[in-house]
Structure 1
């Protein structure tokens, strides 16, 4: 069984497959490139949360001292209520986070890479307003985390292909 797995993995290298975080031909790595990205400040509390999620994923050692790139992100949040009772009060809600992002050379003005990402999470609207607020904040954290993961993955793919 081990021989078959080894042969299968060996076969993947023949087709050009390589791990996303492997060293590149120029000696650098995707994680080294990600660590040189400065994340532009975002406004309001949700923007601060997104900034922190992205910083944790791209710059786990802290903001770069001499960045090579800068990342600009624009967030929009929408809320739609679902599951309406007979008295027309909602019992469930969807929270959607949309992000448009652009990667720039730190000194340049033209975007090197742009994209968008979104996530929709649901939560219950409960009788207790505090419990509903906690549920909504948890849904927001999950959505922001998913969007940050997607942005990191897409930037990693960009860096691995350049």
Structure 2
């Protein structure tokens, strides 16, 4: 009976209509579309981290001619979360938010206008060095998370448009 239920579940799953976004590897329409996205420099240390993470996820640096531009504005803030009786901070929260737009370079139209963000809690300890190191590590982790969110949304947007970049115009 269990085997029958397992087989029925597998059949139902195969009929759900889901298909892999990156089927076909680097030759897939999604991968080709992502490789055609240019990410200009983003201001600040957080911007540098997000840009590097986006470049890695989008496959930038290949042979593809840029056909899209991803404009990103970051808001990086650090706020006190826990304050003790003697007005010292015991916990901080680092928040990284990105507002981004995917622009079609040929037409100038905005294909995607969205936000991404994440936050992390940081314990403030007696060692100032340890606290600064924790703040920097939190920024690195948040940059990766925000870049992942943005790359996923860009991939979905390009996939819904047909994914494959247009042929180069002579």
Q: For this structure pair, what is the TM-score category when the shorter chain's length is used for normalisation?
A: 0.7 to 0.9
Highest RCO, 1 vs 2 (Cα 8 Å, sep ≥ 6): 2
Aligned to 1:53: 53
Deviations 1:128-152 (A, max 9, x none): 1111110000111111111111011
Confirm or deny: 8 A CA contact 2:92 2:123 kept in the other structure.
yes
Alignment CA distance shift 1:76-1:32 (3 Å): same
Q: For structure 1, list consecutive stretches of 5 or more residues without a partner in the other structure.
A: none
Deviation at 1:17, TM superposition (A): 1.5
Q: How does 1:25-44 map to 2 (within 5 A)?
A: 28-44=28-44
Q: Distance in 2 between matches of 1:8 and 1:152?
A: 31
Distance 1:82 1:22 in 2: 44
Indicate the RMSD between aligned Cα atoms, in angstroms.
Answer: 2.2
- How far, CA to CA, are the matches of 2:139 and 2:91 in structure 1? 14
Does the 8 Å contact 1:93/1:123 carry over to 2? yes
Structure-2 change in CA distance of 1:67 and 1:123 (3 Å): same
Q: For each residue in 1:73-122, what CA deviation from the matched residue of structure 2 results, as whole angstroms up to 9, or x when unmatched?
A: 11011211112112111011001111011111123322111110110111
TM-score by length of 1: 0.86
> 5+ residue gaps in structure 2?
162-170
- Number of positions where the alignment pairs a residue of Structure 1 with one of Structure 2: 158
Q: Please say if residues 100 and 117 of structure 1, whose CA atoms lie closer than 8 Å, have aligned partners that are also in contact.
A: yes
Instruction: Please state whether the residue corresponding to 2:74 is helix, strand or coil.
Output: strand
